[in-house]
């Protein structure tokens, strides 16, 4: 989604949110990629709050990006030299941002940082080149950089295509790595030059500082053509300096996938004996989520009748997929109304 902030917020509501919420869209939305850089100003925070609330309602994450302005900088080249990035965006001018991070809406907002090259500079610095394009870190606008949101979209699509879920969308071992990217030469020190595919070089410790602060950095390999996401996270943080399972966007995506499947089942659920209906739910969800829920229904996907305090009978659905996210096991428990 591109365009003026007010325009794409309205387009999101009319073209994606309303059809998905009303269950009239042919395909449920999986993620919304917004080609827009946000910062810590109130106008940005208010839009993030609106988009996060809409995303939460339909269990669909919103992916956007931040530039140097989010960190109080004019050029992203200065970002790696900032000490303690986890607390840099805490308090003071970032008070509104910190309040947003504590909201449920922030669980459905992912903010990426560090653009990647869309093409290599002309000439490549060769002495016999017809034309050598100027490469100057002080002028990133001279080069063709792409927003990291597009790399997120590719990672998510590849993970779902290969595995049937998005849990493998980060890390070099999964689909979070992007290879054969264009590169450029960058001065690393007085006597050292390196080749990189991204706007800035982020050492591992700096990248994880950004993750702990609520951002999703794209890390470029030095002297290589690979860039990857070490962690696809959301913006939700109760305090700076922590990374937990509920802050993983891949976790939110799988939760949304489960919710969409259950919502679709509720629309065609048969009426009848609660035990038999629960068995039907087990079989249906097992088919939808296989092969990552064991070999038979009833083990990693179970449904049983439960009585609420008001006397109504619901299906208590428990799902424990066989894969892990950030090396942690998953467990989902949902109560589904019976007819």
pLDDT digits (tens, 9 = 90+) for 61-108: 999 999 999 999 999 999 999 988 878 898 899 999 999 999 999 999
User: What is the side-by-side order of every strand in the sheet holding 219-220?
Assistant: 177-178, 227-228, 219-220
C-alpha span between 168 and 63 (Å, rounded): 17
The owner of tokens 């209906």 is 277
* Confidence tier at 17 by pLDDT (50, 70, 90): confident
Between the alpha carbon of residue 18 and those of residues 58, 62, 148, the distances in Å are 9, 15, 27
**What domain range includes position 314?**
271-337
Beta carbons of 320 and 249 less than 8 angstroms apart:
no
C-alpha span between 62 and 146 (Å, rounded): 18
195 and 328 in a single domain? The answer is no
23 token code pair = 């269950």
pLDDT of residue 222: 92
The three-state secondary structure class of 335 is strand
The three-state secondary structure class of 7 is helix
Q: What is the DSSP letter of 106?
A: G
pLDDT of residue 125: 59
| pLDDT at residue 1 tops 60 | no
149 and 219 in a single domain? The answer is yes
pLDDT of residue 58: 83
Q: 59 or 316, which is more confident? A: 316
266 domain-assigned? no
* Confidence tier at 5 by pLDDT (50, 70, 90): low
pLDDT digits (tens, 9 = 90+) for 275-326: 999 999 999 999 999 999 999 999 999 999 999 999 999 999 999 999 999 8
- Last residue within a domain, chosen from 251, 283, 304: 251
Give the rounded percent of residues in the chain with a pLDDT score beyond 90. Answer: 62
156 and 299 in a single domain? The answer is no
Secondary structure (H, E, C), 229-256: CCCCECCCCCCCCCCCHHHEHHHHHHHH
Beta carbons of 150 and 218 less than 8 angstroms apart:
no
| pLDDT at residue 127 tops 70 | no
209 and 285 in a single domain? The answer is no
104 and 13 in a single domain? The answer is yes
24 domain-assigned? yes
263 domain-assigned? no
- Last residue within a domain, chosen from 221, 251, 281: 251
Q: Which residues of 33-69 are buried (b: 16+ CB within 10 A; e: fewer)?
A: bbebbbbbeeebbebbbbbbbbbbebbbbbbbbbbbe
How many domains does one find in the chain? 2
133 and 245 in a single domain? The answer is yes
234 token code pair = 């959301």
Find, among 104, 105, 137, the residue nearest to 121 by Cα: 137
Which stretches does DSSP call E strand in the chain? 32-38, 62-66, 109-113, 116-117, 145-146, 177-178, 184-187, 193-196, 216-217, 219-220, 227-228, 301-307, 313-319, 324-325, 328-329, 332-337
285 and 244 in a single domain? The answer is no
237 and 110 in a single domain? The answer is yes
Give the chain's mean pLDDT: 89
215 and 304 in a single domain? The answer is no
pLDDT of residue 2: 52
* Confidence tier at 236 by pLDDT (50, 70, 90): very high
């Amino acid at each position: 989604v591109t365009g003026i902030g007010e325009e794409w917020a309205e387009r999101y509501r009319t073209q994606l949110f309303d059809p998905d919420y009303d269950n009239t869209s042919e395909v449920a939305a999986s993620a919304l990629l917004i080609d827009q850089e946000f910062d810590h100003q109130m106008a940005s925070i208010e839009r993030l709050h609106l988009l996060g609330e809409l995303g939460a309602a339909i269990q669909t994450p919103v992916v956007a990006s931040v530039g140097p302005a989010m960190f109080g900088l004019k050029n992203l080249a200065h970002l790696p030299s900032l000490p303690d990035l986890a607390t840099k965006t805490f308090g003071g001018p970032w008070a509104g941002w910190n309040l947003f991070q504590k909201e449920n809406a922030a669980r459905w907002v992912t903010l990426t940082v560090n653009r990647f090259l869309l093409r290599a500079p002309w000439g490549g610095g060769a002495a016999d080149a017809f034309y050598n394009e100027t490469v100057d870190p002080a002028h990133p606008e001279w080069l063709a950089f792409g927003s990291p949101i597009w790399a997120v979209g590719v990672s998510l699509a590849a993970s779902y295509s290969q595995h049937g879920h998005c849990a493998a969308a980060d890390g070099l071992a999964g689909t979070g790595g992007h290879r054969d990217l264009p590169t450029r030469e960058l001065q690393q020190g007085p006597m050292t030059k390196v080749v990189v595919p991204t706007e800035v070089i982020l050492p591992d410790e700096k990248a994880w500082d950004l993750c702990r602060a609520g951002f999703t950095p794209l890390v470029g390999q030095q002297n290589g053509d690979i860039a990857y996401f070490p962690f696809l996270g959301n913006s939700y943080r109760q305090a700076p300096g922590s990374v937990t399972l509920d802050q993983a966007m891949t976790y939110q995506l799988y939760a949304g996938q489960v919710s969409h499947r259950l919502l679709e089942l509720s629309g065609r659920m048969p009426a009848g004996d609660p035990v038999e209906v629960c068995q039907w739910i087990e079989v249906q969800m097992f088919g939808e989520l296989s092969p990552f829920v064991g070999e038979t229904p009833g083990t990693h996907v179970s449904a049983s009748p439960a009585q609420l305090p008001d006397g109504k009978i619901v299906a208590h659905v428990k799902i424990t997929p066989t894969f892990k996210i950030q090396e942690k096991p998953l467990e989902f428990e949902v109560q589904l109304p019976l007819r």
